[in-house]
């Protein structure tokens, strides 16, 4: 019996030993850190000898840098979007532009020198290389004008950049260790990290910290290999530019003078005779003529002389509205996105201002295709501002009510380069609106002002106000079904005086609307309902109070064509 039992016991013991061995091996494998090393070229997405990875603020970007003749070049779109949006690349004429507070920097593709306004500077190597859809820009050239620091490392080729300043969390490595691709001892090793190195802590959990090394390796280190986390502040020694502006020592009281022919200039005496407090007038004199950047003009020296005799400055308007065969959207886009054409326009504007002894220029470009024009519009303002400043000409720029679809009006850049920003706070409801309403309710205006003041200093902001309203007509549609009445809606612009006369002649009751800051009236006639959000001295006073509350630079009125004598006694109380 014993002879039969012994072999069984031996077998069982052997099986147990084997199982134990397997368990021990499994435990050893489970708890032994992997020695596998990651391929850093794959980690940084470097696939060729010319690829350069960019680590920006402890994040790895992809495909934004390259080596050209041993030098690092950045993709223009990366430069513009992540580093410095003031760089402008003209893909039509292959020229890189950068505008400072006093100079226009320009470098043509493949050139080894660049211009600072008209002075040539030798750079010693190619500054910018054109590509099929962008450009490569020399890293050091970008760094001359931008607030970032960088270090270059090879094997694999990478640039570690920082342009975000402030508080960061750091920790000191307590013992020689490794940084791994993911949290866990089986994750591949990215790099060895020696004792006493300092790493930036990006995230923490109980066992693993996500960290970044100074040479741009981002991964995970065991928490017990690190000291306590401390907070430190990183800062830059880059000195940002300061922008100077022409400032008037009086509150601006401006009115646009809506003119359609040179013969209308003779009416200026009549137009301003009943105004009070008016110190700036902006006649609609200049408009884009063709795709060469030429201007059409109905300007008058006599007009300027008369205004100056009455202590009124002239800031003539330049607009891009439809005239003759000029397409205000497509042709404006062409002009603004071709540097030679755009600069011809700039030169013509300044030449006209000098010729007619103008005190200022007012730019009113509308109907811009944001996607097509890109930064062409703001680059136009930058370039124009330099030449206006050199000639003592005030540059004011009209902008629409702030909204996502009006992003082409880069308010922070306009605040840097223009002397004044004029908010056209009207047309809340316009001729094509699907519903009736105020031209400029006070709540809508307040929202526009408060939003704009986030980017534009109050002493640069001029509040544009309407001197007109809309008479809305709602008429039942004869084709409507019996169960639901459908209305046709239309409107016409009226001067303040004309709309007031309309209300009075129909004995319509005026009701004050607190949220609109104006009187409302309606009446029935021939089966239609007429609705009027009235513009008068009361609505003007609400906006003037807003101007005063926010300490704005002044007000401007559209336009003398719609003028009513009733508002000027109110205006003079706020703008003397």
Domain closes at, from 126, 160, 194: 160
Domain closes at, from 160, 194, 214: 160
| CATH classification of the domain holding 542 | 3.20.20.80
Helices (H), 158-276: 268-272
Q: Which has the higher per-residue pLDDT, 571 or 479?
A: 571
Residue 388 lies in a domain: yes
Q: Is residue 321 within 8 Å of 366, Cβ to Cβ?
A: yes
User: From CA 140, how far away is CA 122, in angstroms rounded?
Assistant: 14
Q: Are residues 84 and 186 in the same domain?
A: no
Strands 230-234 and 166-172: antiparallel
User: From CA 253, how far away is CA 278, in angstroms rounded?
Assistant: 5
Name the pLDDT band for 12 (thresholds 50, 70, 90): confident
User: From CA 218, how far away is CA 202, in angstroms rounded?
Assistant: 9
Q: Are residues 403 and 296 in the same domain?
A: yes
Going by C-beta distance under 8 Å and a sequence separation of 6 or more, which residues neighbour residue 193?
173, 176, 177, 178, 179, 199, 213, 221
- Nearest one of 157, 201, 176 to 58, comparing CA atoms: 201
Q: Helix 376-390 crosses helix 339-355 at what angle (to 10 degrees)?
A: 40
User: From CA 536, how far away is CA 568, in angstroms rounded?
Assistant: 10
pLDDT value, residue 15: 73
Which parts of 185-225 are beta strand (E)? 189-193, 198-204, 208-212, 218-222
Q: Are residues 291 and 208 in the same domain?
A: no
User: From CA 429, how far away is CA 444, in angstroms rounded?
Assistant: 11
pLDDT value, residue 291: 94
* 3-state SS assignment for residue 465: strand
User: From CA 156, how far away is CA 521, in angstroms rounded?
Assistant: 74
pLDDT in tens, 161-201: 999 999 999 999 999 999 999 999 999 999 999 999 999 99
Question: At residue 407, does pLDDT exceed 60?
Answer: yes
User: From CA 178, how far away is CA 191, in angstroms rounded?
Assistant: 6
**Domain containing residue 212:** 165-234
pLDDT value, residue 565: 76
| CATH classification of the domain holding 115 | 3.30.457.10
Question: At residue 10, does pLDDT exceed 60?
Answer: yes
Q: What is the mean pLDDT of residues 455-481?
A: 91
Residue 1 lies in a domain: no
Q: Are residues 397 and 447 in the same domain?
A: yes
User: From CA 247, how far away is CA 396, in angstroms rounded?
Assistant: 11
User: From CA 353, how far away is CA 332, in angstroms rounded?
Assistant: 21
First to last CA, the chain: 124
Q: Is residue 54 within 8 Å of 118, Cβ to Cβ?
A: no
Q: Which residues of 286-324 are buried (b: 16+ CB within 10 A; e: fewer)?
A: bbbbeeebebebbbbeebbebbeeeebbbbbbbbbeeee
- Nearest one of 350, 298, 289 to 320, comparing CA atoms: 289
Residue 436 lies in a domain: yes
CA distances from 306 to 251, 265, 309, 313, 349 (A): 21, 10, 5, 10, 22
pLDDT value, residue 321: 85
pLDDT in tens, 300-339: 999 999 999 999 999 999 999 866 678 889 999 999 999 9
pLDDT value, residue 36: 97
pLDDT value, residue 113: 98
User: From CA 28, how far away is CA 23, in angstroms rounded?
Assistant: 8
Q: Are residues 439 and 358 in the same domain?
A: yes
Going by C-beta distance under 8 Å and a sequence separation of 6 or more, which residues neighbour residue 236?
147, 148, 149, 163, 165
Residue 510 lies in a domain: no
pLDDT value, residue 566: 79
Among 56-70, 177-191, 479-493, 520-534, the range scoring the smallest mean pLDDT is: 479-493
pLDDT in tens, 545-557: 999 999 999 999 9
Q: What percent of the chain is modeled with pLDDT above 90? A: 89
Distance of CA 181 to the CA centre of its chain: 37
Q: Are residues 228 and 279 in the same domain?
A: no
Distance of CA 362 to the CA centre of its chain: 20
Q: Are residues 181 and 290 in the same domain?
A: no
Q: Are residues 331 and 219 in the same domain?
A: no
pLDDT value, residue 43: 97
Q: Which has the higher per-residue pLDDT, 399 or 63?
A: 399
Residue 14 lies in a domain: no
Q: What is the mean pLDDT of residues 195-211?
A: 97
pLDDT value, residue 447: 98
Q: Is residue 280 within 8 Å of 312, Cβ to Cβ?
A: yes
Q: Are residues 370 and 261 in the same domain?
A: yes
Residue 21 lies in a domain: no
Residue 335 lies in a domain: yes
CA distances from 287 to 159, 197, 231, 325, 418 (A): 48, 63, 57, 12, 19
Q: Are residues 140 and 92 in the same domain?
A: yes
pLDDT value, residue 62: 86
Question: At residue 16, does pLDDT exceed 70?
Answer: no
pLDDT value, residue 31: 56
* 3-state SS assignment for residue 19: helix
- Read off φ and ψ for residue 131, nearest 5 degrees: -120, 180
pLDDT value, residue 153: 97
Q: Are residues 198 and 281 in the same domain?
A: no
Q: What is the mean pLDDT of residues 284-307?
A: 96
Phi-psi category of 390—alpha, beta or left, where left has phi over 0 and alpha has psi -120 to 50? alpha
User: From CA 48, how far away is CA 139, in angstroms rounded?
Assistant: 19
pLDDT value, residue 89: 98
pLDDT in tens, 370-395: 999 999 999 999 999 999 999 999 99
pLDDT value, residue 327: 87
**What is the four-CA torsion angle of 364, 296, 372, 109, rounded to 10 degrees?**
-110
**Eight-state DSSP code of residue 80:** I
Structure tokens at 68: 């050209």
Domain closes at, from 99, 133, 160: 160
Q: How many CA atoms lie within 13 A of 526 on its CB side?
A: 2
Domain count, the chain: 3
Q: What percent of the chain is modeled with pLDDT above 70? A: 93
User: From CA 127, how far away is CA 123, in angstroms rounded?
Assistant: 7
Q: What is the mean pLDDT of residues 549-574?
A: 93
pLDDT in tens, 499-509: 999 999 999 99
Structure tokens at 462: 């001029």
Q: Is residue 512 within 8 Å of 521, Cβ to Cβ?
A: no
**Eight-state DSSP code of residue 81:** I
Q: Are residues 388 and 315 in the same domain?
A: yes
The structure tokens 């603004």 sit at: 336
pLDDT value, residue 17: 64
| CATH classification of the domain holding 170 | 2.30.30.40
Q: What is the mean pLDDT of residues 74-95?
A: 98
Q: What is the mean pLDDT of residues 461-486?
A: 87
Q: What is the mean pLDDT of residues 73-80?
A: 98
Residue 146 lies in a domain: yes
Mean of per-residue pLDDT scores for the chain? 94
pLDDT in tens, 49-76: 999 999 999 999 988 999 999 999 999 9
CA-atom Rg of the chain in angstroms = 34
Q: Is residue 505 within 8 Å of 517, Cβ to Cβ?
A: no
Q: Is residue 356 within 8 Å of 394, Cβ to Cβ?
A: no
């Amino acid at each position: 019996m014993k002879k039969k039992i012994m072999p069984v016991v031996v077998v069982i013991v052997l099986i147990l030993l084997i199982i134990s061995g397997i368990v021990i091996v499994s435990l050893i494998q489970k708890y032994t850190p992997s020695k596998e090393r990651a391929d850093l070229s794959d980690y940084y997405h470097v696939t060729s000898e010319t690829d350069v990875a960019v680590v920006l603020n402890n994040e790895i970007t992809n495909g934004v840098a390259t080596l050209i003749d041993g030098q690092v070049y950045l993709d223009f779109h990366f430069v513009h979007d992540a580093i410095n949006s003031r760089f402008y690349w003209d893909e039509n004429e292959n020229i890189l532009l950068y505008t400072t507070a006093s100079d226009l920097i320009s470098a043509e593709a493949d050139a080894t020198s660049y211009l600072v306004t008209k002075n040539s500077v030798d750079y010693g190597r190619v500054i910018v290389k054109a590509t099929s859809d962008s450009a490569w820009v020399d890293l050091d050239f970008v760094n001359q004008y931008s607030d970032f620091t960088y270090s270059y490392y090879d094997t694999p080729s990478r640039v570690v950049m920082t342009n975000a300043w402030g508080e960061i969390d750091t920790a000191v490595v307590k013992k020689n260790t490794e940084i791994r691709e993911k949290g866990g001892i089986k994750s591949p090793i990215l790099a060895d990290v020696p004792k006493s190195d300092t790493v930036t802590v990006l995230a923490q959990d109980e066992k693993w910290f996500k960290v970044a090394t100074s040479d741009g390796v981002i991964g995970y280190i065991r928490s017990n290999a690190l000291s306590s986390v401390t907070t430190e502040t990183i800062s830059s020694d880059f000195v940002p530019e300061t922008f100077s502006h022409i400032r008037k020592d009086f509150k601006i009281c401006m009115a646009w003078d809506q003119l359609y022919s040179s013969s209308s200039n003779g009416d200026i005496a009549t137009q301003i005779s009943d105004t009070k407090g008016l110190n700036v007038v902006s006649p609609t004199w200049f408009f884009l003529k063709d795709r060469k950047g030429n201007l059409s003009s109905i300007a008058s020296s006599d007009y300027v002389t008369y205004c100056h005799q009455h202590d009124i400055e002239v800031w003539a308007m330049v607009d891009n509205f439809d005239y003759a065969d000029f397409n205000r959207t497509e042709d404006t886009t062409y002009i603004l996105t071709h540097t030679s054409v755009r600069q011809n326009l700039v030169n013509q504007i300044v030449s006209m201002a000098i010729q007619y002894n103008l005190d200022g220029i007012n730019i009113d470009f509308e109907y811009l295709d944001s996607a097509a024009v890109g930064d062409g519009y703001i680059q136009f303002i930058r370039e124009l501002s330099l030449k206006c400043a050199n000639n003592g000409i005030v540059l004011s720029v009209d902008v629409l009510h702030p909204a996502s679809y009006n992003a082409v009006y880069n308010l922070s850049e306009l605040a840097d380069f223009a002397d004044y920003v004029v908010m056209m706070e009207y047309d809340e409801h316009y001729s094509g609106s699907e519903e009736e309403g105020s031209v400029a309710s006070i709540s809508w205006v307040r929202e526009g002002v408060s939003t704009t003041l986030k980017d534009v200093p109050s002493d640069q902001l001029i509040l544009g106000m309407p001197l007109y309203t809309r008479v809305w007509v709602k008429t039942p549609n004869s084709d409507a079904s019996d169960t639901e009445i459908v209305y046709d809606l239309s409107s016409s612009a009226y001067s303040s005086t004309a709309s007031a006369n309309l209300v009075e002649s129909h004995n319509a009751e005026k009701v004050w609307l607190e949220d609109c800051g104006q009187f409302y009236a309606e009446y029935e006639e021939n089966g239609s309902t007429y609705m009027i959000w009235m513009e008068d001295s009361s609505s003007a006073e609400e906006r003037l109070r807003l101007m005063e509350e926010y300490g704005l630079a002044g007000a401007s009125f559209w336009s003398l064509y719609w003028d009513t004598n009733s508002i000027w006694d109110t205006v003079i109380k706020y703008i003397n």
